[in-house]
Structure 1
Amino acid sequence: MQIDFLNEAHRQAEICNACRYCEGYCSVFPALHRERAFSDGDLTQLANLCHNCRGCYYACQYTAPHEFDLNLPKALAEVRQESWKDYAWPKEFAQLFGRSGVLMSFGLILAFALIFALAQVLQPESGEGFYTYMSHGLMVAIFAPAFLLPLLALAASLRGYWHTVGGGTVQLSDLGDAMKSAGRMKPLECGHGDGCNFEEEDKFTHARRLFHQAVLYGFLLCFASTSSGTLLHCVFGMEAPYEFFSLPKLLGVPGGLLPCIGTAGLAWLKTKADPNLGAPKAWGGEMAFALLLFAVGATGLVLYAATGTAAVGWLLPLHLDSVLTFFLLSPYSKMAHGFYRMAALTKEAANKRSVKQSKPR
């Protein structure tokens, strides 16, 4: 990790630890105030606990033009971005994505769209719905590695992160607490419960929390839809296409709508917010990720609406290549933040439990 980012984060964390004005703002400050000195691992953990709500910045009396020039959201955002690059595997690919993430995303989309379009030359002799254009076996052969390999890369990345932050052993209750916090997006309630002022200094709203939840739950619904379809196909011999009132469709349609709503909302908020309170160099890559996830949901919905028409022939490659690009870039794009945040929240839950157990009764 770049030394200047860490040095600046060290300086600001030490000042915040002495001040303690923001003690109840979010999960970052109780964790910060438990320490007397900060290792690089401590700062990496704090950075991945931070959801960049920016409430601490707007409340701080030591921001510019004060000589302390505090901007903790930016300092932690830059440490957070660097940590994802440092722990990513393979590291060289992460560095390449960091330099040219937008170009890589659109390049992969175009390349995979061409490949899927050419793959339709191998159309199966029989099949219904999407399988008229591409066999189930070919889809599995393409997407199984594209799903499993990024998971292995993320697992290797998280292993490095966990070692650096001194993760240690956790209990199921710690994981449960982390999942509750993530599902509720509790850090974006910002302590007082009025929401965060991400886009405007004096305006507290729950918009960012709700848009994040739309993306999270939409993604989970899509995963559940695919899993249910796989179960129906492989275990019960019920092959696609499925009717609307079937489990894959009842899960998949809202699973496509919610990420579209969430990513569009988050991108809109990002255009209104001050880029200097985050990691400015990552702004373009983060917007590209939001657009990519929007494309996954939107093309899936349009493809479903076009079922039975000639448009499926060109919509199917477009949707499949956006999904494939999303999977392959997951370990190096903003998607990785969900896994790191879960790890950070789990470690924080374990730390809280340890402190609670060590107190005399």
Structure 2
Amino acid sequence: MRTELIQEARRQAEICNACRYCEGYCSVFPSLHAERAFSDGDITQLANLCHNCRGCYYACQYTAPHEFDLNLPKALAEVRRDSWESFAWPQPLARCFHSHGGAIALALVVGFALIFWAIRAIGSTGGEGFYSVLSHNAMVLIFAPAFLLPLFSIGISLRRYWHAVGGQPIQLGDLKAALSRTAKMQDLAAGHGEGCNFEDEDRFSQARRHVHHAIMYGFLLCFASTSVATIMHYGFDLHAPYGFWSLPKLFGVTGGVLLTAGCYMMVRLKQKSDRNLGDVSAWGGEIGFILLLGFVALSGLVLYAFGSSAVMPALLAVHLGSVLALFLLTPYTKMAHGFYRVAALVRDAQRKRDVSVVR
């Protein structure tokens, strides 16, 4: 990890630790104030615990033009992104994406769409609906490795992170506490539940929390759609295409709408926000990832709407190409931040448990 980023975040954390004005603002400050000195692992943990709500910045009396020049959201955002790049496997891919994320995402979508178009030109072994273009076995052969290999990569990254932050053996209570906070997006409501200051300076808003809910649950519904369809195919010998009132379609359409709307609103919030309170160098990569995720959802909805038309093969090629690009890029984009965030919350639950035992 880059030493200068860690050192700057440590300098600011030490000043915040002496001031303690923001102790009740969010989950970062109780964890920060529990320490007297900060190792590199401590700073990495604080950075991944931070949700960039920015409330501390607007409440701080030591921001520029004060000589302390505090901007803790920016300092932690830079450490956070650097930690993802440092722990990623293979590492060079992560640094490349965050520098040129939009261009890479676009190139992959176009490239994979062309690949699928070529496969379609070769032909299919037969089948109904989408399988008349690309057989079920061919889809499994392509997408199973594209799904499992990124999970393997993320597993290596999280193992490196867990070692760096001094993680302990995980207990069920730690995991339940972390998942509960994640499901509620509790930390995006900040310390007093009023919301965060992400998009409109010192005005509190729940917009970012609601948008994250739409994206997270939209994605989970889409994943549930694919999972249920897989169980129906292999477990009950019920093959696609499925009707609208089937679980795969209900989950998929609902998830697609939530995901599309959530990504659109997230881009709008980011455009309204102050880039200087985040990691400026990663802004393009973040926008590229959000657009890719939204495009996957939107192209899926369009494919469903025109699935019986003459343009279906072209729409299928574009959609499958974008899905494959999303899968393969997952360990190197902000998609990975969900895994790191849960890991940071689990580690924070362990810290709280240790404190309660001492008391």
Does TM, scored on the shorter chain, surpass 0.5?
yes
CA distance in 2 between counterparts of 1:262 and 1:353 reads 35
Q: Which residue of 1 aligns with 2:64?
A: 64
Unaligned runs of 5+ in 2: none
Cα offset, 1:202, TM superposition = 3.0
Structure 2 CA distance for aligned equivalents of residues 17 and 304 of structure 1? 53
Counterparts of 1:350 and 1:23, CA distance in 2: 19
Structure 1 contact 195–209 (Cα < 8 Å) conserved? yes
- The 5 A counterparts of 1:247-262 are 247-262=247-262
1:61-210 equivalence runs, <5 A? 61-210=61-210
Per the alignment, residue 348 of structure 2 pairs with: 348
Q: Which structure 1 residue ranges, 5 or more long, are not aligned? A: none
Q: CA deviation at 1:99?
A: 2.7
Aligned counterparts of 1:215 and 1:88: Cα–Cα separation in 2: 23
Task: Name the counterpart of 1:308.
Answer: 308
Alignment coverage as a number of residue pairs: 359
Aligned residues with identical type, % of pairs: 60
* Matches of 2:4 and 2:354, distance apart in 1: 32
- The amino acid of 2:90's aligned partner reads P
Whole-Å Cα distance in 2 between the matches of residues 293 and 245 of structure 1? Answer: 25
SS, match of residue 335 in structure 1: helix
Aligned Cα root-mean-square deviation (Å) = 0.8
CA distance in 1, matches of 2:215, 2:99: 26
Maintained 8 Å contact 2:200/2:273: yes
Please list the CA deviations of residues 311-346 of structure 1 after superposition, one character each: whole Å capped at 9, or x if unmatched.
Answer: 111000100011100010000001010000000001
Greater mean deviation of Cα atoms: 348-357 or 9-18: 348-357
Equivalent residue number for residue 357 of structure 1: 357
Tell me the distance in 1 between the aligned counterparts of 2:94 and 2:293. 19
Match of residue 272 from structure 2: 272
Deviation of the 1:192 alpha carbon: 1.3
User: How many Å separate the matches in 1 of 2:131 and 2:125?
Assistant: 10
Q: 1:43-91: CA deviations, max 9, x gaps? A: 0000000000000000000000111000000000000000000000011
Contact 1:122 1:134 (8 Å CA) reproduced: no
- Secondary structure at the aligned position of 1:330 is classed as helix
The answer as to 2:305 corresponding to 1:284 is no
Partner SS state of residue 331, structure 1: helix
1:122 deviates by 3.0
TM-score (norm: length of structure 1) = 0.98
Given that 1:57 and 1:73 are in contact with CA atoms closer than 8 Å, whether structure 2 keeps it comes out as yes
Matched with 1:31 is 31
* Counterpart amino acid of residue 84 in structure 1: W
Scaled by the length of structure 2, the TM-score of the pair is 0.99
Aligned to 2:324: 324
Amino acid of the structure 2 residue aligned with 1:152 = F
- One-letter identity of the residue aligned with 2:345: L
